[in-house]
Structure 1
Amino acid sequence: MRSDTRARAEAGDWTDRVLDVEVGPVAHGGHCVARHEGRVVFVRHALPGERVLAVVTEDTGGSFCRADAISVRVPHAGRVAPACTWARAGGCGGCDWQHATPVLQRELKTAVVREQLSRLAGIDSDVEVEELPGGPLGWRSRVRLAVDAEGRAGLRAHRSHDVLPVADCPIAPEGALPGVLARPHAPGSEFEVVVDADGIVHAERDGAPVVQRAAGREWRLRPGAFWQVHPELAGTLADVVAEWAQARPGESAWDLYGGAGLFASVLAGQVGRDGEVTVVESSAGAVDDGEVALADLPQVTWRVGRVEHVLGSLADPDVVVADPPRSGLGRALVAGICERGPRRIVHVACDPAALGRDVGLFAAQGYRLTALRAFDAFPMTHHMECVALLEPGHPGVA
C-alpha cells in the first residue's frame, strides 16, 4: 500500500516530499529559489549556492511550491548557527535569516531591493542596505504575542496560526519577554509588548503612556500606537526626510500617513511659522497624541481620515512626505499626488516590491527617482526600510 505522501506526489501534490535541490538566488519574502522537475521551489532556511534537502511544506498546485531546508549538504560560507532554536524548519515565522551572518543578510536584502526596482520600475540602482546601530539582536522594541487555547503566550509558527511556546526571543530587548511569557493570558487572545525609550516594558495595554523620542522631541503615546520597531529607525528616517524634503520657509508640506507627527515635526522646522504642514492620518488616537506632542508648532494642522478621502480637499503642496502601509501608495494615490505638482516627494517604504511598483507609477507621471537609501531596520528577518526621493523631470538613479 502506497503512503499518503507518495500518493499525493504522484497526483501532483508534493506536500511532505523531500527534495534534493541546488539553491539559486534570493527572492523577496525570506527564501531562495530552487528548481525541481520543472517547478519553482521557494526554499526557506537556505542560502544561494547551497545544496540542501528540503521538505515541501505547501503545495497548492501550479508552477511553484514552498519548502524548508532540513539538511544542508553543501553550505554557503556565510552560514552560521542560528541564535534561536525556533529559527528552523517548522519553527517561528518571525526570523528568516538567522542562519546567515549579518553582512550576508544585508547583501541578500540589497539583492532583493535592486531586483524589485529593476523588475518593477526598470531602474538599475546601486543602493546598498545599510546597517543601523545596535547589532542584529535585541532590537525589536515591539513584539506581538498570540495566546493558545491553554492560555500560554508565544509566537506564531511560519505561515500558520499555531502558537509556539517560546521562553524568550533573542531579537527582543533582553529581559522584556520572559516574565510576560511565563504568565497565563486570555486563551485565544493577542497582545503587544512594547519597550519604550526609557526601557519600560508595556504589556497588554497597561494604560501607561509609551514614551518615544526622535528628532529632538518626545512623544507620549497611548498603548498600541504605531512607532518604528527598531529604536534607531525613527531618528534615522527623520534625518533623511530633513535632508531630502528641503521645504522652504513659508511653503506648504503634506505628511501623509503621518501617525503622531514624527516627519511633521521635521517639516514644521523647515517651513517655519509662516508655512503650513498638514498631517493626514486615519488613527484618531495617533492624531490626539501628535497634537499634544507638537502643541508648540501652530503651523502643523491635522486631518483625521484615509488619505485617499482627504487628499482632494487639501491645498497644493510644495513638498510631500508619504509613509504608506506595506501595500504602498498605488496607482490612484500616486496620480493624485502628482496632479498637485509638488517639487519634491519623499516616499518611505517598508516593502521593496511596493516601492518598486510606486516608483514605476511615479515615473509614468513624470517624477523620477533621484535618491534612494535602504536600511536593515529588521535584522534576522527579510524586511527592510527604504526612503526614495522623487522629483519631476529628472533621470532615474543609476
Structure 2
Amino acid sequence: MSRPPARRTRVRKARGASAVGERFEAEIGPVAHGGHCVARVRIAGEEQTRVVFVRHALPGEQVVIEITEGTEGDRFWRGDAVEVTTPSPDRVEAPCRYAGPGLCGGCDFQHVALDAQRRLKGDVVREQLRRLAGLDVELTVEAVPGDTDGLRWRTRQRYVPLAGGVLGMRKHRSHDVIPVEECLLAAPSGPSYDVRGRAFEVADGGFWQVHPGAPEALVDAVLTALAPQPGESALDLYAGVGLFSRFLLEAVGPDGRVAAVEGDAAASSLSLVNCPGLQATAGDVGAVLSGGLPQVWDSTDVVVLDPPRAGAKRAVVEEVVRRAPRAVAYVACDPAALARDVAIFAEHGYRLTSVRAFDLFPMTHHVECVALLEPVEPDQRTTS
C-alpha cells in the first residue's frame, strides 16, 4: 500500500503560563499508545493531579520528569524522564548515543530490553482493542528475521542534510535537528524486492516495507488467515504494487479472480507488471468500491485491507461488508485505527477471530498487526 507523508506536529494554542522546564518526581504508570508512559504529577495549589505523557521511562519506575510541552490550562502535559531514581529491571543502556531526552526523536524504546519492548507493544494493542472495540485478546508480538538485536533493519533512511555533508536527525515533535554520525537502525544495504522467489518492481521512493523480514511475514500471516481456495474471488484494497495480490492470484488459480484497488497511480500500474492477470484500479478506495468496479465484484470471497495509518474508516468498511466476504485480513500499522475499524465491522456482524502482531519497527513504539475478521452465523448478520 502507499503511505501518506508524515504529519507535521500541530502547534497547540497556549492556555496560560508555560510549564516547560518544570521538574516533578513521580512514579511511572502504564505504557500508552505513542511511545510514552502515563504518569500523574501533583501541582502546587491544585487538588487534582495532572497527567503527563513521559518518554524515556518504564512502568513502575521512580523518575524525575522534566516537562517538554504544556501550559497551566492543558488537560495533559508531555515530558521526559531526565533522572531515574528507581529503574525497572527491563531498563538497559541505549545502544545509540543519540537516544535520550533532548536528542534524536527517531526511537522510543532504546532504553528498554528487546523482549520487554515487545511486551509493551502487546500491552498497547490489547489496550486499544479493549478500549475502542470492547474486546479482550491475547497476543504476543512476534520477532521477524532481518535485524540484529533490534538494530540495522531500516532499509530506507532519510536524514536532514546539514552544512559540510553532515547528517542530521530531528528531535521528537520538533523541527530542530541534531548532527549524527550514523543511525544504528540503518541497514547495511537497501531493500530487496524479492519475496518467496518472486521479484517485484517498485518505483523510486515508492512504498515498500522497510524491515527486510516484513514482506514475507505479512504475506504468510495474510495467506494463513484467509486460506484462499482455488476458484475464489479476492479483493486487495490499498494494494500498493501488488504484494498480496501476487500470492492471492497464485492461490485462487486460473478459475479464480483478484482485483486490486490502490490510490497511487504509479503503484497501481506497477501492480499490473508484478501480478499478471490482476484487475487493478487506481483511485480512492472508498470511491472505487462504491461505484468504480464491475458488478461482478458486488460480492467476493476474501478481502485484504492494508490501509494507511488512519485506518480504513466507516465508508470503506461498510463497502467491504456489503460484499459479504467469508473472511477479511486487516493489515494495520496503527492499533488504535485497527480497533476503531474492528468496532465498525462488529456493527455489521463481523467479529475479530484472530490477531497477530509483528515487531517490524524495533526500538520504536510502532507495531504491525494482521487481524482476521469473519461473519457470525448468517441468520445473525446484517449488512448495510
Q: Is the 8 A contact 1:374 1:384 kept in 2?
A: yes
1:282-321 maps to which residues of 2 (within 5 A)?
A: 282-294=263-275, 297-298=276-277, 300-312=278-290, 313-314=292-293, 315=297, 316-321=299-304
Say whether 1:230 aligns with 2:208. no
Say whether 1:275 aligns with 2:256. yes
Q: Is the 8 A contact 2:226 2:327 kept in 1?
A: yes
Give TM-score, length-normalised by structure 1. 0.85
Question: Which residue matches 2:60?
Answer: 49
1:185-204 maps to which residues of 2 (within 5 A)?
A: 195-197=190-192
Give the AA of the match of 1:143. Answer: Q
Identify which range, 381-390 or 82-91, moves more after superposition: 82-91
Tell me how far apart the structure 2 counterparts of residues 332 and 256 of structure 1 sit (CA, whole Å): 13
Tell me how far apart the structure 2 counterparts of residues 154 and 291 of structure 1 sit (CA, whole Å): 38
Question: Which residue matches 1:334?
Answer: 317
Say whether 1:372 aligns with 2:355. yes
Q: Secondary structure at the residue paired with 2:157? A: strand
Say whether 1:136 aligns with 2:147. no
Question: In the TM superposition, what is the alpha-carbon distance from 1:245 to its structure 2 partner?
Answer: 1.6
1:1-398 maps to which residues of 2 (within 5 A)?
A: 12-37=17-42, 38-60=49-71, 61-133=73-145, 134=147, 135-148=149-162, 152-174=166-188, 195-197=190-192, 212-294=193-275, 297-298=276-277, 300-312=278-290, 313-314=292-293, 315=297, 316-393=299-376
Q: Is the 8 A contact 2:261 2:285 kept in 1?
A: yes
Give TM-score, length-normalised by structure 2. 0.88
Tell me how far apart the structure 2 counterparts of residues 75 and 289 of structure 1 sit (CA, whole Å): 50
Number of positions where the alignment pairs a residue of Structure 1 with one of Structure 2: 351
Give the AA of the match of 1:350. Answer: C
Q: Is the 8 A contact 1:31 1:44 kept in 2?
A: yes
Q: Is the 8 A contact 1:146 1:154 kept in 2?
A: yes
Q: Is the 8 A contact 1:215 1:239 kept in 2?
A: no
Q: Secondary structure at the residue paired with 1:357? A: helix
Tell me how far apart the structure 1 counterparts of residues 191 and 316 of structure 2 sit (CA, whole Å): 33
Tell me how far apart the structure 2 counterparts of residues 172 and 31 of structure 1 sit (CA, whole Å): 23
Tell me how far apart the structure 2 counterparts of residues 126 and 323 of structure 1 sit (CA, whole Å): 22
| Per-residue deviation, residues 55-92 of structure 1 (Å, max 9, x unmatched) | 10000532200001111110001111101111110111
User: Percent same amino acid among aligned pairs?
Assistant: 50
Q: Is the 8 A contact 1:215 1:266 kept in 2?
A: no
| Per-residue deviation, residues 151-195 of structure 1 (Å, max 9, x unmatched) | 743221100112221110111114x6xxxxxxxxxxxxxxxxxx1
Tell me how far apart the structure 1 counterparts of residues 249 and 370 of structure 2 sit (CA, whole Å): 20
Change (3 A) 1:26 1:393: same
Q: Is the 8 A contact 2:246 2:274 kept in 1?
A: no
Q: Is the 8 A contact 1:113 1:352 kept in 2?
A: yes
Q: Secondary structure at the residue paired with 1:144? A: coil
Change (3 A) 1:149 1:161: farther
Q: Is the 8 A contact 2:166 2:180 kept in 1?
A: no
Give the AA of the match of 1:321. Answer: V
For the aligned residue pairs, the C-alpha RMSD in angstroms reads 1.9
Give the AA of the match of 1:116. Answer: Q
Question: In the TM superposition, what is the alpha-carbon distance from 1:12 to its structure 2 partner?
Answer: 4.7
Identify which range, 380-389 or 337-346, moves more after superposition: 337-346
Tell me how far apart the structure 2 counterparts of residues 377 and 113 of structure 1 sit (CA, whole Å): 14
Question: Which residue matches 1:186?
Answer: none
5+ long unaligned stretches in structure 1: 1-9, 177-194, 198-211
Q: Is the 8 A contact 1:241 1:266 kept in 2?
A: no
Tell me how far apart the structure 2 counterparts of residues 330 and 148 of structure 1 sit (CA, whole Å): 40
Q: Secondary structure at the residue paired with 1:170? A: coil
Q: Is the 8 A contact 2:201 2:241 kept in 1?
A: no
